Structure 1
Amino acid sequence: MSKSTFNDFRKAIDWKKVLKKGSSTPHGHRLFPSRTPTQDSAYNYRADKGADLGNGKFEVIIQANKNAENKAVRDAANKNSHAIHAKAVADPANDPQGSKVDEELFADWEARKK
């Protein structure tokens, strides 16, 4: 899967909204984008909430969408739609803009591709 497709997804995330939404979203539910066929296709990936880690921190898990526009992403999702493509820890109190979680997601995505 291409780095540019993943970067396009990362750039589209409004981290302020995602971090705020994370406090009330249950484990395993969607943080971004909203769950519609159009959104799933356009964004290729989704950000789901992982485990609550205490002190307001939680995991952000990136997975591929089965109806992704990008063929490589779609094929990966059809092979295993629950595969983790990147994971990071969100800490809204200390990173309200989401820049650290975004950096961690990219680093983890890169590490998983090796």
Structure 2
Amino acid sequence: MTTLRAAFKSFLEELPIVEIAKKIKSADEGQRLWPSQTTKNDNKFNFRADRGSKSKRWNSCYEIIFQANENADNKGGLENAATDNYRIIAKAVVNTGVVIDITEDALDSFDETNV
């Protein structure tokens, strides 16, 4: 497992998906969902979850966009963010009606995006 993937998996394990599912409905597209934007959080968590697009087909489904923070402590995250701070490293969809763990979907997306 690469250092970047391991760091991303640790981030996903701390991701408060129920809290995010509640917050995502009122967030604007592109808005940071978690963690809150502080230098301390950017260093600690290495990544961020932003609100993506709302499903046109299913009203309760929203895309979550994952990106590396440019202030990341993790060297892989730093290199990734230094290349392009807005590069999407993974995506997942959350259904606000039936909230389930998105870790596996996000890791699959990470593996497809970061070959």
TM-score by length of 2: 0.90
For residue 113 of structure 1, report the CA deviation from its aligned partner.
2.2
Q: 1:7 matched to which residue of 2?
A: 9
- Amino acid across the alignment from 2:8: F
Distance (Å, rounded) in 1 between the aligned partners of 2:68 and 2:17:
19
For residue 104 of structure 1, report the CA deviation from its aligned partner.
1.1
Unaligned runs of 5+ in 2: none
Distance (Å, rounded) in 1 between the aligned partners of 2:51 and 2:30:
5
Q: Of 89, 93, 97, which residue of structure 1 is paired with 2:97?
A: 93
Alignment partner of 1:29 is 2:31:
yes
What aligned pairs does 1:1-80 form with structure 2 within 5 A after superposition? 1-54=3-56, 55-80=59-84
Distance (Å, rounded) in 2 between the aligned partners of 1:89 and 1:2:
21
For residue 81 of structure 1, report the CA deviation from its aligned partner.
0.6
TM-score by length of 1: 0.91
Q: 2:105 matched to which residue of 1?
A: 104
For these two proteins, the number of residue pairs brought into alignment is 111
Identity value in percent:
31
Distance (Å, rounded) in 2 between the aligned partners of 1:41 and 1:105:
21
RMSD: 1.2
Structure 1 outlier segments of 4+, above 3 Å: none
Report Cα offsets for 1:58-114 as digits up to 9, x if no partner: 1100000000001121121121011010011111213x2x31x32211110011222
